[in-house]
Structure 1
């Protein structure tokens, strides 16, 4: 097995797109490629889908489009044509990633050779943006907006900027190793971005998301939206109680239903069959319980390709809100830090139009000196500002755990988030 301890590698004299997406049992990387042209602004996602299909048609089988799509169309996407370095080792199709194993320890092809906890100094206390009391006030402002307009839900994010003191390309492999170790069912991702002006080299977006936007194979598409969250507990009894409470929560089920109904409405005109379970089920990560619904659809012929579907569905109410226009406008007014690629998409599409796109959650952006973590909460009329603040704190812990060699984040969490 090749040594990927220097991920992502460089190839002198060639354009590079340094990108990794690892799902349980399979890992795909793309290091060299040709960037696709993109024009930020309204309609960017739809234009990208057409551009990607046109470029793939002129390339041999095995070529993919891979990269990042931002949360907002005013931020440029980063997609490239590439020859992937690694496909599933078991011989399966690359889109066989919708059903995660429930038992055993899924393997991570391509990740075992990543270094184990090296090159990552202890992180210092973080700077919350905005401070917790301000975030709680923003939640209250969002609830007020719902009382005087059509807004039914908005997702408000906050960030935590932590000094790391390691170059992004050195810190990324260590973070990937830790994220892989702490949650073997998560979708790991890492991708380089242009650095800040005057910065030292590229930034890296890195994370371990629980949420798949879509997997498309032929005329079949599978979605797995998550909305509604509760923190897990070390004590088994309290953990089971938290899961039961989430599953029975009227507020969280309402929030989840908003997401599912929106996806059903957008998909229905494209489908000859659309299977949407009537009730959500529990989805567990190491730190959190989520409400999830697996949606399966059979597409009309000719079926739209994976990137066209992503352009249609993104952003969902799970990461933005509804109605989308109102929610996005409120996000721009209230959030002090632009999201860029947080709650955007990470994924790929091949020449046949098959592909896999996940939502960039539980992630951070590494630059030369800091790691900026992102977390958000879905706000509805019944939301409690204190509870929503606690939800964002719980979501930070995925990356905070990865920053701490002992996996003991109590001190770091307390110092950073109070």
Structure 2
């Protein structure tokens, strides 16, 4: 299911999904991925995989999206015992280089100083070469397993994306995001925006001190407030009640502390569908900036690599319009030739290039840690019969 790229794609996609669900057999759901901006095609499909788009398990509000086909079972039945790598894997290539990212942060601060924007989120990537293209889907499966072990409270996702060209293999987006954009159940709407981040520390006392400092940080609280204020403004017309706490709270992952504000609302009747709401709110200042249109233009100018589905939406919606949509963070796109990892940081008044670069490094560590874990359990891809060794 798709809509033409460009302005209006997200709204058209939500309308098409609602129409398709009304015409579908019972228990059909829409699952898929919505990109960061409307220049990239969204990728949704109807499926009868009842219970698999949203499986109850030990993870709070877990979202698991599988498209086209499930990833290969891990480890492959044909794989032998794990063999040591013949040579160390090539190092990741940053895009942009660290110096260029810091320069982009300075440009963003100039735009904030002149009043063009109040906040902008700048992303960077790491390109990890994959020497054996035949095993990339097995690596995606191993990454998902590693993330499940390392991020027990995260929302896991693994989405087979559209082929970039007819002759290319379909990449797989894999991640473990901490952030729910929204969940709709009847007229009840819940959101948990995150903005404001600091790394965790292995020493418990230092860890508590860093969390407390984040909670009191003027800069991080301002960054968080832009997100909350934007959501309040956008939600007010469609909600009969809107409960937004006055103070943020802490949200922990295995490696990071975030500022979080749990929002609860009752929707006016007729209630918009979860996908329509998600498309109306996306992208929030948590992943783009404020005001949105100007921040998005700055992102296009300052980021050398397209985000594609990073900081987009992953989720599902049923025929009643209920659904759960999360923001694609702490993720990577696995293709035959490379794994591309993504991370971003919110730039506001008081930000520094060095601190924002360090924040992206801390966020990239989630996927890099999962990659190390996955590689340690990844058997070599079996050589096809008759192929030269």
Say whether the fold is shared (TM-score over 0.5).
Answer: yes
Of 97, 112, 117, which aligns to 1:151? 117
| Runs of 4+ more than 6 Å apart | 95-99, 116-122
Give the SS at the match of 2:139. helix
User: Is 2:7 the counterpart of 1:39?
Assistant: no
Q: Tell me how large the CA RMSD over aligned residues is.
A: 2.7
- Which residue does 1:14 correspond to in 2? none
Give the SS at the match of 2:373. coil
- Counterpart contact for 2:146–2:374, Cα < 8 Å: no
- Which residue does 1:332 correspond to in 2? 300
- Which residue does 2:144 correspond to in 1? 176
- CA separation of 1:98 and 1:385: change in aligned 2, threshold 3 A: farther
Q: Displacement of 1:60 after TM fit?
A: 1.9
Q: Return the alpha-carbon distance in structure 1 between the equivalents of residues 125 and 40 of structure 2.
A: 18
- Which residue does 2:40 correspond to in 1? 75
- Which residue does 1:32 correspond to in 2? none
Give the SS at the match of 1:234. coil
Q: Displacement of 1:311 after TM fit?
A: 1.1
Unaligned residue ranges in structure 1 (runs of 5+): 1-35, 89-93, 409-418
- Which residue does 1:30 correspond to in 2? none
Q: Return the alpha-carbon distance in structure 1 between the equivalents of residues 232 and 6 of structure 2.
A: 26
- CA separation of 1:173 and 1:294: change in aligned 2, threshold 3 A: same
- Which residue does 2:382 correspond to in 1? none
Q: Return the alpha-carbon distance in structure 2 between the equivalents of residues 387 and 114 of structure 1.
A: 40
- Which residue does 1:141 correspond to in 2? 107
Q: Displacement of 1:124 after TM fit?
A: 2.8
Q: Return the alpha-carbon distance in structure 1 between the equivalents of residues 55 and 237 of structure 2.
A: 23
Q: Return the alpha-carbon distance in structure 1 between the equivalents of residues 22 and 58 of structure 2.
A: 26
User: Is 2:362 the counterpart of 1:397?
Assistant: no
- CA separation of 1:95 and 1:309: change in aligned 2, threshold 3 A: farther
Q: Displacement of 1:188 after TM fit?
A: 0.8
- Counterpart contact for 1:227–1:252, Cα < 8 Å: yes
Q: Return the alpha-carbon distance in structure 1 between the equivalents of residues 57 and 300 of structure 2.
A: 33
- Which residue does 1:65 correspond to in 2? 30
- Which residue does 2:159 correspond to in 1? 191
Q: Return the alpha-carbon distance in structure 2 between the equivalents of residues 180 and 367 of structure 1.
A: 21
- Counterpart contact for 1:95–1:356, Cα < 8 Å: no
- Counterpart contact for 1:162–1:370, Cα < 8 Å: yes
Q: Deviations over 1:318-342 (max 9, x none)?
A: 0000100100000000000001100
Of 51, 54, 57, which aligns to 1:86? 51
- Counterpart contact for 1:65–1:81, Cα < 8 Å: yes
TM-score, normalised to structure 2, is 0.87
- Which residue does 2:174 correspond to in 1? 206
| Equivalent residue runs for 1:6-21 within 5 Å | none
- Counterpart contact for 2:74–2:138, Cα < 8 Å: no
Give the SS at the match of 1:80. strand
Q: Displacement of 1:156 after TM fit?
A: 0.2
If asked which structure has higher relative contact order (CA below 8 Å, sep 6+), I would say 2
Q: Deviations over 1:276-297 (max 9, x none)?
A: 0001110000110000010000
- Counterpart contact for 1:154–1:378, Cα < 8 Å: yes
Deviating more after overlay: 374-383 vs 161-170: 161-170
- Which residue does 1:100 correspond to in 2? 60
Q: Displacement of 1:194 after TM fit?
A: 3.0
Q: Return the alpha-carbon distance in structure 1 between the equivalents of residues 121 and 58 of structure 2.
A: 25
- Which residue does 2:274 correspond to in 1? 306
Q: Displacement of 1:223 after TM fit?
A: 0.3
Q: Displacement of 1:146 after TM fit?
A: 1.1
Q: Deviations over 1:297-325 (max 9, x none)?
A: 00001111101100110000000001001
* Corresponding residue pairs, total: 363
- Which residue does 1:349 correspond to in 2? 317
Q: Displacement of 1:62 after TM fit?
A: 0.7
Give the SS at the match of 2:91. coil
- Counterpart contact for 1:56–1:65, Cα < 8 Å: yes
- Which residue does 1:164 correspond to in 2? 130
Q: Displacement of 1:149 after TM fit?
A: 2.6
Q: Return the alpha-carbon distance in structure 1 between the equivalents of residues 75 and 151 of structure 2.
A: 15
Q: Displacement of 1:132 after TM fit?
A: 0.7
Q: Displacement of 1:391 after TM fit?
A: 0.1
- Counterpart contact for 2:2–2:42, Cα < 8 Å: no
- CA separation of 1:95 and 1:291: change in aligned 2, threshold 3 A: farther
- Counterpart contact for 1:213–1:357, Cα < 8 Å: yes
- Which residue does 1:9 correspond to in 2? none
TM-score, normalised to structure 1, is 0.81
Unaligned residue ranges in structure 2 (runs of 5+): 377-389
- Which residue does 1:54 correspond to in 2? 19
